C-alpha cells in the first residue's frame, strides 16, 4: 500500500534530559552525565561507569494533573509502585503525546503500542529475589537459634553437618527440598504483584494508563528492541492495519545482576565510553525511555501536526550465530539489513547524509560497523557524517534504539549532526568521519539508524525529510 509513515511526537526520559528541549541541548553540546555507579561502589566491582536519572520522581510530572482529575488517581497509584522501566515508559508516552498534540477518543480508538524492552523490569525482579533469600535466611537462623542451647550442642552440630553436606554443588536440589520440608514452599514469600515485573507489562501499562485500544505488543530483541519496536509500528501503519502508534523502548537495567553479567563479558567501560578510539573499553550502562508517536502521513496533515521526519524504510537480519554474544566477524548480515532498508526506502546510497551507529565502544563492534559502512556506501562513505551518541547517553539496552531514533529525527529536523564525544585518540582502523567532539551543521536529507543486539540481531531504520 502506498501509505507514508511520519513521526509527529517525541518523548524522551534520560539522564541527559527529560523532555526534548533539555535533552537535545545537551546532545548538541556534547554533554554526558557518567559517574562511578553508587550501586557498585564499595562492593569490589571497581570503577564501573554509568548514568542514572537523578532523583527521579513521577510525582513531579503527574501529581498536579492527577489531583485535578486529568488522570485516574487509582491507575496512577499503581504505576507509582511499578518498576522504573514502566514509569519511564508512561512518562515518555505522555511527553510524546503532548509533543504531538494528539487528541483521541479514550473509549473508541485503535492506537497501537509497540514497546521494546530487553532486561524485563529487572530492578523489581532483583528486589523480589532479595526478599525471598532474606526471608529464608531469617527463618533458617531462627530455627538454628532454637537449637543453640547448652544442652543441645550435639543436636545443633548434627544440623550443621547436614547443611554442610547439602551445600555441595551436586546436592543443591536436596538442599532446596530440605528447606521446603522445614519451612514450606520457599517461594510463598514472592509478592503476587511480580506479574507486573515482566516485559509484557510495559506496553500493557501504557495502554491501560492512556486508554489505548489497539495492539499492545512487547518486542525483546536485546539491544535492538527499541528500534525494532519502531520498525514493527511502521509496518503496521504502512500496511493499513492502523493509523497511529506509540513506539520505542524503555529500560531500567542498572542492577547488580545486569552489571555483573556485562562486566564479566568485558563490555562495560571503567573509564568513559570512547567509541572508535584505540583505547576504547566498552560502553557506560544507562537507563531511560525513548518513545515516539507515528502516524499515517495524510492523517497527520489533516490535523496540522508538526512532522519531525518520515520513516522511509526498516529491516532486520540475524547472524544466526550459536554464540549469543558474538558478532559476525565480517558483518555480513548487518550489511544485508542496511542494504534491504535502503532498497525499501527507494533511496540511493548517496542520498544518505548521516548515520547514527550502534557504536558501543567495544573492540569488535566498532571495527565491524566501520567495515560494513565502507562496503555498503563505497565511494560515498567519505561524504557521510557518522556519530555514536552512546558516547553521551550511555547504553540503555532495550531503550537505546528509541532514543537514537529520536536523536536522528531531531538531526533531520534541525540539519545538525550530533557529535561523538571523547574521540581524542582515534583507532587507525576506525577511519571514518565520526563527527568528533563537536556537532556539525549540514543539510540532512536522510539518516540511517543502526542497532545490534546479543543473539545476532541487526536492525536498520531510515528517517528522512518529508519532501
Q: pLDDT tens across 245-294, in order?
A: 999 999 999 988 888 889 889 999 999 999 999 999 999 999 999 999 99
The answer on 260 and 185 residing in a single domain is: no
Measure the CA–CA gap between 234 and 312, rounded to whole angstroms.
Answer: 9
User: Is the pLDDT assigned to residue 195 strictly greater than 70?
Assistant: no
Buried (b) or exposed (e) across 141-179, using 16+ Cβ within 10 A? Answer: eeeeeeeeeeeeeeeeeeeeeeeeebeeeeeeeeeeeeb
Question: Between residues 160 and 237, which one has the greater pLDDT?
Answer: 237
The answer on 143 and 210 residing in a single domain is: no
Model pLDDT, residue 2: 81
The answer on 239 and 93 residing in a single domain is: yes
Domain enclosing residue 159, as ranges: 125-193
The answer on 116 and 32 residing in a single domain is: yes
**Average pLDDT rounded to a whole number, residues 329-355:** 97
The answer on 130 and 220 residing in a single domain is: no
pLDDT in tens, 136-163: 666 665 665 555 555 555 555 566 566 6
- The pairing of strands 17-18 and 5-14 is antiparallel
Measure the CA–CA gap between 345 and 340, rounded to whole angstroms.
Answer: 9
The answer on 452 and 386 residing in a single domain is: yes
The answer on 291 and 245 residing in a single domain is: yes
Query: pLDDT band for position 126 (50/70/90)?
Result: low
Buried (b) or exposed (e) across 358-376, using 16+ Cβ within 10 A? Answer: bbbbbeebbbbbbbbbeeb
The answer on 248 and 115 residing in a single domain is: yes
C-alpha cell at 60: 513531579
User: Is the pLDDT assigned to residue 164 strictly greater than 70?
Assistant: no
Model pLDDT, residue 333: 97
Query: pLDDT band for position 121 (50/70/90)?
Result: low
Model pLDDT, residue 192: 55
Question: DSSP per residue over 121-149, as a string?
Answer: SHHHHHHHHHHHHHHHHHHHHHHHHHH-S
Do the Cβ atoms of 48 and 259 come closer than 8 Å? yes
The answer on 279 and 394 residing in a single domain is: yes
Q: How many CA atoms lie within 13 A of 454 on its CB side?
A: 13
Measure the CA–CA gap between 151 and 147, rounded to whole angstroms.
Answer: 9
Rounded percentage of the chain residues whose pLDDT exceeds 70: 84
pLDDT in tens, 46-97: 788 899 999 999 999 999 999 999 999 999 999 998 999 999 999 999 999 9
Instruction: Report CA-CA distances (Å) from 239 to 3, 225, 376.
Output: 7, 21, 28
Model pLDDT, residue 310: 98
The answer on 441 and 398 residing in a single domain is: yes
Do the Cβ atoms of 314 and 254 come closer than 8 Å? no
The answer on 338 and 397 residing in a single domain is: yes
Q: Please state which of the ranges 26-35, 189-198, 288-297, 341-350 shows the lowest mean pLDDT.
A: 189-198
User: Looking at residue 62, which CATH number applies to its domain?
Assistant: 3.40.47.10
The phi, psi pair for 70, rounded to 5°, reads -75, -25
Model pLDDT, residue 45: 78
> Which residue among 158, 193, 228 closes a domain?
193
Model pLDDT, residue 110: 96
When divided into structural domains, the chain yields a total of 2
pLDDT in tens, 206-230: 999 999 999 999 999 999 999 999 9
- Mean pLDDT (the chain) is 90
The answer on 217 and 152 residing in a single domain is: no
> Which residue among 178, 193, 208 closes a domain?
193
> Which residue among 134, 167, 193 closes a domain?
193
Model pLDDT, residue 120: 77
Q: Which residues are catalytic?
A: 223, 358, 395
Amino acid at each position: 500500500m502506498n501509505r507514508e509513515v511520519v513521526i509527529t511526537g517525541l518523548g524522551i526520559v534520560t539522564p541527559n534530559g527529560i523532555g526534548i528541549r533539555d535533552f537535545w541541548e545537551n546532545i548538541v553540546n556534547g554533554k554526558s552525565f557518567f559517574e562511578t555507579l553508587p550501586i557498585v561502589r564499595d562492593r569490589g566491582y571497581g570503577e564501573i561507569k554509568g548514568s542514572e536519572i537523578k532523583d527521579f520522581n513521577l510525582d513531579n510530572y503527574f501529581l498536579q494533573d492527577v489531583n485535578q482529575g486529568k488522570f485516574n488517581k487509582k491507575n496512577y497509584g499503581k504505576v507509582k509502585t511499578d518498576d522504573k522501566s514502566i514509569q519511564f515508559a508512561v512518562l515518555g508516552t505522555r511527553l510524546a503525546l503532548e509533543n504531538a498534540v494528539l487528541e483521541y477518543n479514550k473509549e473508541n480508538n485503535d492506537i497501537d503500542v509497540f514497546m521494546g524492552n530487553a532486561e524485563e523490569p529487572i530492578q523489581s525482579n532483583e528486589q523480589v529475589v532479595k526478599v525471598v533469600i532474606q526471608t529464608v535466611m531469617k527463618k533458617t537462623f531462627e530455627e538454628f537459634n532454637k537449637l543453640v542451647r547448652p544442652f543441645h550442642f550435639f543436636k545443633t552440630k548434627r544440623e550443621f553437618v547436614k547443611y554442610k553436606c547439602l551445600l555441595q554443588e551436586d546436592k543443591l536440589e536436596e538442599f532446596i527440598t530440605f528447606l521446603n520440608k522445614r519451612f514450606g514452599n520457599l517461594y510463598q514469600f514472592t509478592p503476587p504483584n511480580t506479574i507486573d515485573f515482566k516485559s509484557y507489562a510495559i506496553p500493557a501499562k501504557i495502554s491501560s494508563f492512556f486508554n489505548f485500544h489497539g495492539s499492545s505488543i512487547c518486542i525483546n530483541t536485546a539491544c535492538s528492541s527499541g528500534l525494532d519496536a519502531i520498525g514493527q509500528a511502521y509496518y503496521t501503519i504502512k500496511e493499513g492495519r492502523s493509523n497511529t502508534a506509540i513506539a520505542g523502548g524503555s529500560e531500567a537495567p542498572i542492577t547488580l545482576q545486569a552489571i555483573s553479567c556485562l562486566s564479566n563479558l568485558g563490555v562495560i567501560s571503567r573509564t568513559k565510553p570512547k567509541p572508535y578510539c584505540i583505547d576504547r573499553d566498552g560502553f557506560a550502562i544507562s537507563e531511560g525511555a525513548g518513545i515516539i508517536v507515528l502516524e499515517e502521513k495524510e492523517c497527520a496533515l489533516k490535523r496540522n501536526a508538526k512532522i519531525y521526519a518520515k520513516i522511509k524504510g526498516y529491516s532486520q537480519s540475524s547472524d544466526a550465530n550459536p554464540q549469543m554474544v558474538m558478532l559476525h566477524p565480517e558483518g555480513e548480515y548487518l550489511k544485508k539489513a542496511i542494504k534491504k532498508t535502503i532498497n525499501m526506502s527507494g533511496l540511493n546510497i548517496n542520498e544518505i547524509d548521516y548515520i547514527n551507529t550502534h557504536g558501543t565502544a567495544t573492540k569488535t563492534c566498532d571495527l565491524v560497523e566501520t567495515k560494513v559502512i565502507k562496503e555498503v556506501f563505497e565511494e560515498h562513505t567519505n561524504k557521510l557524517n557518522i556519530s555514536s551518541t552512546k558516547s553521551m547517553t550511555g547504553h540503555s539496552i532495550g531503550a537505546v534504539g528509541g532514543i537514537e531514533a529520536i536523536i536522528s529525527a531531531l538531526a533531520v529536523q534541525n540539519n545538525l549532526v550530533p557529535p561523538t564525544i571523547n574521540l581524542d585518540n582515534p583507532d587507525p582502523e576506525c577511519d571514518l568521519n565520526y563527527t568528533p567532539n563537536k556537532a556539525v551543521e549540514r543539510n540532512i536529507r536522510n539518516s540511517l539508524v543502526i542497532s545490534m543486539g546479543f543473539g545476532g540481531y541487526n536492525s536498520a531504520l531510515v528517517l528522512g525529510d518529508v519532501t
